[in-house]
């Protein structure tokens, strides 16, 4: 396979063409770099205005991951290079990544995402924005940003707020891992198709009459994927979110965020999934848990554009703060898993410290023109 970090192909169909995008850095689980984000944005912009390209198929190289997120180590290097001040690479990365996410959500042509394997962070941002989102028996999804003092961004403020009952809040605070059935239940995926059928799906997409009226192209994609989903239905794994929804709602029923955190971290249970979720939050940044909660509540009725404009404001303030650098250091750099968080509990965080993360750090929002 090519050494390019992103491979683009224009595949001739029965009529018209299918654009194929492959994230091609399997060694890093196809984690996104600024270069990859820019390449994706440029090609999507070109294909949007190319009448020969009727639909797009996005997948990841290798069998382990569609995309495990952004290149967090590069973001860490940027953050520690200018502690407390503007982080050139990190801030450019997030602004362009969120612009790419918004492009995906608003793209008028069908984009089929093959979300096989690990789909985390920035990878979920790509998948969630596509119009036709496929998951497989190997799909593993998580937004564990609380463990590195970040927050579920890349549109997480949008799709987590649209999940059933308190499930989005719970997943945001705990970073709990979910599978294909959970992705369908929570609305971040559209179809389950077994991974062994990928080549057949591609073949059928290439058999379609894509030169027909453009208004029918989404229906064509639905038609192809629907049949494979029906054939794969009995291979879908058992989910966790729906079966645990009553417990999730009870845990998230607190007088305030501090009470909700208490409920989750003090949970005593033999249930492995809930236990892992509780442990994740207990080891996460108390400060991050607060800005995660505040972001979700403040933007619960926001438009998609407002979501991304708010997310770039919050993430810019976060990468300029030492909590993020410390979280990445402990989990991914030194890997001692012993972060020295600035506050021992959420109640220790001063109100003005939390509020400062929601103040604009510049005169003009980088995404003001969305």
* Cα–Cα distance measured from residue 23 to residue 71, given in angstroms and rounded to the nearest whole number: 13
* Cα–Cα distance measured from residue 9 to residue 302, given in angstroms and rounded to the nearest whole number: 36
- The residue annotated as part of the active site, out of 19, 60, 62, 70, is 70
- Pure H helices in 177-335: 180-186, 198-205, 217-232, 245-251, 257-265, 272-283, 286-298, 304-319, 322-328
For residue 60, what is the DSSP state?
A: E
- Provide the 3-class DSSP secondary structure of residue 116: coil
- The residue annotated as part of the active site, out of 59, 91, 145, 190, is 145
Helix 88-106 to helix 34-48 angle (10° resolution) is: 30
Residue 122 annotated to the active site: yes
Residue 19 annotated to the active site: no
Q: Which uninterrupted H or E stretch holds 115?
A: strand 111-115
* Cα–Cα distance measured from residue 297 to residue 151, given in angstroms and rounded to the nearest whole number: 13
Phi, psi of 302 (to 5 degrees): -80, 160
Q: Which uninterrupted H or E stretch holds 132?
A: strand 132-135
Instruction: Evaluate whether 67 touches 36 at the Cβ level (below 8 Å).
Output: no
- For residue 237, the tally of other CB atoms under 10 A from its CB is 15
- For residue 276, the tally of other CB atoms under 10 A from its CB is 13
* Cα–Cα distance measured from residue 281 to residue 163, given in angstroms and rounded to the nearest whole number: 20
Nearest in space to 210 (alpha carbons), one of 201, 219, 197: 219
* Cα–Cα distance measured from residue 135 to residue 180, given in angstroms and rounded to the nearest whole number: 5
Q: Which uninterrupted H or E stretch holds 141?
A: strand 140-142
Residue 156 annotated to the active site: no
- The residue annotated as part of the active site, out of 59, 71, 97, 153, is 153
Residue 239 annotated to the active site: no
- The residue annotated as part of the active site, out of 19, 69, 115, 122, is 122
Residues with catalytic function: 70, 122, 145, 153
């Amino acid at each position: 396979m090519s050494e390019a970090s992103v491979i683009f192909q224009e595949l001739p169909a029965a009529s018209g063409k299918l654009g194929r995008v492959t994230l091609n850095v399997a060694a890093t689980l196809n984690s996104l770099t600024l270069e990859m984000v820019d390449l994706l944005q440029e090609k999507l912009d070109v294909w949007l205005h190319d009448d020969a390209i009727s639909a797009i198929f996005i997948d990841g190289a290798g069998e382990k991951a569609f995309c495990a997120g952004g290149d967090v180590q590069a973001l860490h290097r940027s953050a520690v290079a200018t502690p407390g001040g503007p982080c050139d690479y990190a801030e450019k990365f997030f602004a362009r990544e969120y612009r790419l996410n918004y492009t995906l959500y608003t793209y008028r042509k069908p984009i089929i995402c093959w979300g096989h394997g690990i789909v985390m962070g920035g990878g979920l941002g790509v998948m969630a924005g596509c119009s036709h989102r496929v998951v497989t028996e190997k799909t593993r999804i998580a937004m564990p940003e609380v463990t590195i003092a970040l927050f579920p961004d890349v549109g997480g403020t949008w799709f987590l707020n649209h999940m059933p009952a308190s499930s989005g809040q719970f997943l945001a605070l705990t970073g709990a891992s979910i599978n294909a059935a959970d992705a369908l239940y929570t609305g971040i995926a559209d179809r389950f198709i077994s991974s062994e059928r990928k080549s057949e799906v591609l073949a059928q997409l290439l058999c379609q009459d894509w030169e027909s009226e453009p208004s029918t192209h989404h229906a064509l994609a639905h038609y192809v994927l629907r049949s494979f989903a029906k054939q794969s239905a009995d291979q879908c794994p058992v989910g966790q979110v729906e079966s645990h929804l009553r417990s999730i709602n009870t845990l998230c029923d607190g007088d305030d965020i501090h009470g909700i955190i208490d409920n989750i971290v003090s949970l005593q249970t033999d249930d492995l999934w809930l236990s892992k979720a509780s442990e994740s939050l207990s080891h996460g940044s108390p400060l991050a848990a607060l800005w995660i909660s505040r972001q979700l509540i403040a933007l619960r009725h926001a438009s998609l554009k407002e979501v991304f404009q708010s997310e770039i404001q919050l993430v810019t303030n976060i990468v300029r703060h030492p909590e993020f650098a410390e979280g990445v250091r402990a989990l991914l750099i030194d890997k001692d898993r012993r972060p020295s968080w600035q506050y021992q509990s959420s109640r220790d965080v001063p109100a003005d410290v939390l509020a400062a993360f929601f103040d604009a750090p510049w005169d003009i929002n980088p995404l003001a023109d969305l």
